[in-house]
Structure 1
Amino acid sequence: MQQRLTLLVAMLVLAAAIPTGVAGATAQTQQEDCSFPYTVTDASGTEITLDERPDRITTLNPSAAQTVWELGGSEQVVGVTVNADYLDGFDAKTSVTASDGFGISVERVVGTEPDLVLAPNASRTETVRALRDAGITVYQLAAAETLEDVTEKTTQIARLTGHCEAAVEVNAWMEANVEAARTATADVERPSVLYPIGSGYVANTNTFISAMIEASGGTNVLGEFDYEIGYPQVSDEIILQANPEVLLVNSRGSGLQTQEPYASTTAGQNNATVVINTDYLNQPAPRSVVFAVRNMTEGFHPDVETSFVARSEVTVATATPTPTATATDVSEPTTSSETTATTTGEQPGFGVVAALLAVGALVLARRE
């Protein structure tokens, strides 16, 4: 049996509600949803303008690089960090990681001659400032604390890089797999889970990692405590008090369950660990979410059958009907000032996003 996922996105313009001339301008803007120039304000509050689609992109973290890859824009990328080494074609890109292996080399970034730099929210202020002072266009991404944030981040990167339609497909693939995990584990007993990152740091409930744990049928045991930050450093006593039933371990920390205080928890005593590839567990990006949620679900609930969706099983059909003038439209005159106001009021590039929010996407899954 094969599962196919079809995403139908309907972008509808209601001509009866607006004059004929304005309707034409609105329809044209929606069709050019990924047009340039494009002006936007980033997470740092800085407004940037891209006059044309960027041909040379440098990413300062692996999740941004992975997202561009998934959108089909890997050929546009000229600079990456060393932690993006798992991506196909990495060796052909320039590393912008500092020579000591930590942080970003401003000189190397400038040397890639980028049209656009994608910087994570956690970027050092002085690094971003130095790049902007060098005349580089930098877009600083917002932090991703939820799975919805990952979706929004994917959509925004797609808009910046000129891959809006691909974002619809990528997000549909990610969301379909998350929903498959949620559906499969809706009525099962949820184990208490802890993700120790190392040196006492753990993932709190207000992180995208915790959101993946919850979607996969687990419960983040740190929810029993009152930590506010995303990745607090906790004491051995807190870990023993939390006493998780399952330890979520990244591939570089395998064997953690044999070390104290984890060895004395229920998870450690039962050798109950779920090991996830570090590249996918720690990076808020589409492929990471899909693969991590799949592996967590299978690890937390090995006896539960889940119908996950392959990327090749997702198709996107976009329809943009041409507005039809009504008798009322024809009889009412449209002044040039009205047409201009509507055209300039429409924000270039957000046609697809606005249509998705206003009209919605219909996802039909069926088995054959």
Structure 2
Amino acid sequence: MRRITTAVGVVLLLLSAVAPAAGFAGAMGTAGAADAASAQELDCEFPVTATDASGHEVTVDSEPERVVTLNPSAAQTMWEIGAREKVVGVSQFAGFLEGSDSREVVTSGNPSTVNTEQVISLDPDLVLAPNTIDNETATQLRNAGVTVYRFDRAASIEDIYEKTRVVGGLSGACEGADATVSEMRDRVETVEAAVEGQDRPSVYFAMGGGYTAGPDTFVGQVVERAGGDNIAADADTSNPYPQLSAEFVVEQDPEYVVVPVQPERMGNDSESYVPEDSAVRNTTAWEEGNVVVVDTNHISQPAPRVVEPMTQLAQAFHPDAYADANATTTTPGTTDAATTTATTDAGTTAAPTTADAGDSGTTVPGFGVGAAVVAVLGAVLFARR
């Protein structure tokens, strides 16, 4: 039970971060809105000033050489934009990133707490903090002369685009950030084109204990843009990550169930990740074997790799349409980037009933975060959101 409770808190923390505060793109000399900003290349000129999610005006005087990331999505973003060599400190949940074991771990516990003295000892030029890091911690670091940028909760794929550009602009990796966002957009557009006009199966994203991702979350958008109808859209709740009753799940009768699983737990039949007492076993998804296992590192973190499960789900929900779309858009002698990544990268699979995806190490048996989510949800949401 202790293991399950810990995992629940981790996933909720991951899901709650991160999107940039509005206005950063304008400070970089580009448009402020995510769509407008993404249409222009970033210009890494220092000093740069931006207002973060806590309303703090953050100024980075010169290109950072030492960066500390306090959550795994910020670290993942630094890796993806080609700035990993600048990272000197990471959270305890960034171990899935290649080479992260050579960085100092500066957080511990659940909810995750920051060892401020350790962060300060690393002498960082910049600290990237999620919204789950409280203002008191950020203030302690700032009082010690550390530059801290706090992100807001990511609620959409566009938020992830913009957050990637913010990280690139602050860290001096503008070219890498632009290229990464461009690749992400290409992948998303490929998926959307493939599923356009297709019948949309009903989908339940099963976090554990009945909890799921609502439509106004980046996870919900992954499901929708992959061509599925999120059953949480019909739930009477304003919570972005609501708890659905077993009766509601059975009544909605989802045609697909998506289960995030840790990488070290992968390799079993996908249906083995559904608990014996789960309401899912009374749905069409279970009867037809439509249990899709995805990488928690990718699906639960608002960072560039979120396009991996989106591609995987599109292939699971609409295999023929996805294959046809890519067959018509791939020229002889080339390979479609989305298909190549989805079938060769660790942690992804095109088959809806296989379990060879990877994960963040933040979920537990069952639905990835475990049945004890009820015990910690209130504390996490109250203290961290």
Cα-to-partner distance string for 1:176-217 (whole Å, 9 max, x where unaligned): 111101111112211111112122211000000111111111
Task: Establish whether residue 293 from structure 1 lines up as the match of residue 310 from structure 2.
Answer: yes
Residue of structure 2 in register with 1:163 after alignment: 173
Matches of 1:170 and 1:33, distance apart in 2: 15
Matches within 5 A, 1:234-249: 234-249=244-259
Structure in which a larger fraction of residues adopt strand:
1
Residue identity in the other structure for 1:40: A
Gaps of 5+ in 2: 1-39, 327-335, 342-385
Compared with structure 1, are the counterparts of its residues 54 and 241 closer, same or farther at alpha carbon in structure 2 (3 Å cutoff)? Answer: same
Residue number among 276, 282, 286 corresponding to 1:264 in the alignment: 282
Change (3 A) 1:37 1:197: same
Which residue in the other structure is 2:82 paired with? Answer: 72
Checking the alignment, whether the CA contact within 8 Å between 2:42 and 2:174 is kept in structure 1 is no
Does the 8 Å CA contact 2:258/2:294 hold for their aligned counterparts? yes
**Counterpart amino acid of 1:270?**
E
- Which of structures 1 and 2 has the larger relative contact order (alpha carbons within 8 angstroms, sep 6+)? 1
Aligned residue identity for 2:184: M
Q: What TM-score does the superposition give when structure 2 sets the normalisation length?
A: 0.69
- How far, CA to CA, are the matches of 2:151 and 2:62 in structure 1? 20
Paired amino acid for 1:292: P
Q: 1:213 aligns with which of 205, 223, 229?
A: 223
1:98-131 Cα distance to aligned partner (Å, 9 max, x none): 2679433223222222111101122223322222
Equivalent AA in structure 2 for residue 293 of structure 1: M
1:129 to 1:200, Cα distance in 2 relative to 1, 3 A: farther
Worse-superposed segment, 145-154 or 235-244:
235-244
Q: For residues 1-368 of structure 1, what are the structure 2 equivalents within 5 Å?
A: 33-98=43-108, 102-252=112-262, 255-256=273-274, 258-286=276-304, 288-304=305-321, 305=323, 306-307=325-326, 308-309=336-337
SS at match of 2:319: coil
AA matched with 1:256: V
- Could you say which residue in structure 2 is the equivalent of 1:21? none
Q: What is the identity, as a one-letter code, of the residue corresponding to 2:86?
A: Q
> Matches of 1:66 and 1:31 in 2, distance apart?
21
- The question of whether the paired residues in 2 share the 8 Å contact of 1:274 and 1:300 is answered with no
Change (3 A) 1:262 1:32: closer
1:32 CA displacement: 9.2
Contact 1:110 1:136 in 2 (8 A): yes
Q: Structure 1 residues 155, 128: CA separation in 2 closer, same or farther (over 3 Å shift)?
A: same
Aligned length: 283
| Counterpart contact for 2:190–2:338, Cα < 8 Å | no
User: Quick one: structure 1 residues 33 and 208, their matched pair in 2 at CA, closer, same or farther if it must change by over 3 Å?
Assistant: same
Q: Does the residue aligned with 2:49 lie in a helix, a strand or coil?
A: strand
In 1, the alpha carbon distance for the partners of 2:112 and 2:60 equals 29
User: Cα deviations across residues 118-157 of structure 1 (Å, max 9, x unaligned)?
Assistant: 0112222332222223322110012211111111111111
4+ residue runs over 6 A deviation:
none
Matched residue SS, 1:39: strand
Using structure 1 for the length normalisation, give the TM-score. Answer: 0.72
SS of the residue corresponding to residue 210 of structure 1 reads helix
Distance 2:210 2:199 in 1: 28
Shift of 1:44: 0.9
Tell me the secondary structure at the aligned position of residue 40 of structure 1.
strand
Q: CA RMSD for the aligned pairs?
A: 2.4
The code of the aligned residue for 2:141 comes to L
Q: Which blocks of at least 5 consecutive residues in structure 1 are unaligned? A: 1-29, 314-368
The alpha-carbon distance between structure 1 residues 173 and 257, as it changes in their structure 2 partners (threshold 3 A), is farther
Partner of 1:8: none
Given the superposition, is the C-alpha separation of residues 249 and 147 from structure 1 closer, same or farther in structure 2, using an over 3 Å criterion?
Answer: same
**Correspondence for 2:379:** none
